Structure 1
């Protein structure tokens, strides 16, 4: 696949996830997407690198809390699909067929599958997308961000979530005799790992072939090892209320790797209830997006105590971050709230559902369905004036860290994901 600009290279390598502090734009000129944004798109920042991601998370989050997304927003997402089933971050002209220059990727595709599978009625679209994802599965059982790229924990876990959302059994999707869980096990650090990395997951092996613990990759690895996606239903505590309750053991199974990863996250969150950004120059900044992902992963594992503690921290501190970052950030918080049984309509004094709806297509004037669609009758959408859509600057920053050998990273999520 050919890439035509340095900015495109940076965005292609990183997994889309939560927003990070803005970096300088290396694009030689404004992208086509900056000239006229589709009215059906969530968010007002440039969708060149994260349009499908943020749209997918927004639709998924709304569906999860019982809100029917606007039809035009769903239709826009469906229309972004390429003929081979893959999705690129943003196609300004869907009348022109995708070609070798179109930067499709596994993360946008997997996020779109999770959203459209949840909404229902899009089996043909999700079926083609899954066929494409299976066609680019690596021989180790995993996936990289781009087709043919080395497998990473975040991309592999996002695809696992897509498979599960579509009713398939991820462990049975194999390539070269290897499943996605096999790929994730190879990225799990041993219990005797140094630098407090015991039980964590690495994004990818570094240049020396060594595994470096990464909190975002760990959250993704826990979810992927458990075979779940971006949406996790609140469940009962399985006795893993603290790190001491789940001692690290040799990860011979995906389930043990998930337990080890959850214990690692519990330790990382114990002091302050949040993760800290690992991006250059941001060592002391809270990482809201990765903290939200960690909450979902811990809830999936049954570590409801640590998950609730971090969800409470997000309630008190994440409102400004979400307002600056846009729809994907609101969606991440809604999914974290849902996973812990927290009311997203009263999240630290913020109605996340209302805020997310305000970033999307506005209900027509006089349309009584505004409440049903989660749209407020406002004269204009709530603007994202931060200039950094959730995932765009994160992608650029994450690449710099990965390129430096740290292995730091996403629908998204996820980016996800440290982002």
Structure 2
């Protein structure tokens, strides 16, 4: 093997965890190459059919024997996600899917309950987290007991060394899986962890798992480094690893271990996933060998029963191969990660004037940001906001007609502004001026977009909608149930989806003939791959389903493919969506529309409460119930100390130091103190500034956590806040303070905090100035919620058990050899 000097990459200073995707040396590629996708479709379909024969009644997947294997089941969940197949497509006779088995048995597996000495396993937790992300489940409330899988993995990090769990240079298993599991769920990985892993690379460019499985461990390490966001694809560590993999590649394009006589499906599949994470297609000439490439090597070893692998092909090897043949990496299978990539791409494209090149595109992006839970005015460039750009350019844009005016109203309303007075324009009056009572139409009578966007705009503005224009739109429906753009263009799903949303906004019921016929048309136009021919049309159609409350899984086809899974085949590795396979350039409009569809949104936007301004406050005593409060803001911002005062919570702060909150203080001889935190969108960040020096704005969430100063760094609050749930009203986030997405942003109905709000009454303060220990609350009383804290066994990692005894070691070696032969 060629020896290469090991170097350590420096962390990149990036505003978003996924922004590294734009610093690579490779051009962003679509997730699937059409020719390869066509060639592998039958192989993947047959592979999934085989996996269906390996499912037990509890939903678990068989591996070496007839028992349900959590490890194999994790790979099957990944495979279903990578192939775009609904997680409930594979079910046992008892109605259990693989993810159901993991929800039942996954946590016990992580805690190694099947062993004589149960202990929390960081590596197992990381593996399970990748499946949780792939299945779009909540990683902080997973399983029957709603266990937080993230907290113990984070707690296992030694901040001084960057090491997770018991990782060593001789065995990096805990490190790679902790990093992959966290990144898959959009949690940031400290740069120290990536630095340590890079430094653990061996001289030949490989990494070790303690058993000499260099070819299996090296691609996992590569993906972990890439997923961390701190290592670019052209970093020396990555290039050295690539060299190592290339030196061991076989003539057929695959890889095999010392135990194999032909291509090893697992090893080849994981390496192919690593190649995909680098932004390289499998057909890249650098991976071509005399008899094929990594993809053709996997295709060549599919068995007649659909299993992929050699003589010992099984569900594990088949699932790994399906993920690889889908040209995806195991950490990049969930919609939350995909959404984060798209948001990062959008932000990177913002111009200095605050917009995105045109008014139409800027409006699309404003709606997408709103759908993701952000206040669009907080996404800035050179101090310019998207609304600044609109104010400068919308006068010319709305001259195009009622569709342009209606869309502008949607964007302005989504930003929380008044459409009757924006940039010295009354957009509602301008829209109504395009209405012809004699023709009962906005703009052109036969134009579906004119009528639909006008109706949607009026609805967003809270204005009355002329009943006659609703009749006009109904009259434009064709015999096949669809709508044309205008007369003579022919029906198409995007026009139909827009008309359906407009009719719903105007009061048509979901079971009306027009709506049902429209749905029938959309169903008839659904392709074999689950979508509607291009990304924008597919996104618009999904938005119509969102408006009707139809779940994505309800439209899965006979092979399990869904509209959302089809939509994401148009996403590139840099997060951008392209229009279709003929026009594959990055497309901002397609990207924004895809995000609207993904976040379950539509064009039926309700007028925002222009005066609503709230911040959240969490008081976590460390043991027992935490308290969450919704605090109204009277001013544009206040300090963290003022937020505590406004909440009405009792506290004392002699000499400016918070000594007690809610009568909880450090006892004599104790080591506890009240630590101060800010929420960044998906996790808590310790504040190095004092509460009197911070700025709290609407959408901010802060916390006080009673914890020990002996533990460094201090433990974060074990509460996942959802401000909209806490306040019982939608509250938009500030992008500058909270640039990250969380599970509750993607699935707001699956709230991270159980809310049972009760009002807090405070006594009227006496006249005069209150001391810090006697806070006044002259504003609206906060709303408070008690959140039951998880059991201690769920929030702390168990000590690692050191495997001893010659018999146990021999057993492990035997299992490893069997695993190698089974790949």
Give the TM-score, by structure 2 length.
0.25
Between structures 1 and 2, the one with greater strand share: 2
Give the TM-score, by structure 1 length.
0.45
- Report which of the two structures shows the higher radius of gyration computed on alpha carbons: 2
Higher relative contact order, chain-length normalized (CA < 8 Å, sep 6+): 1
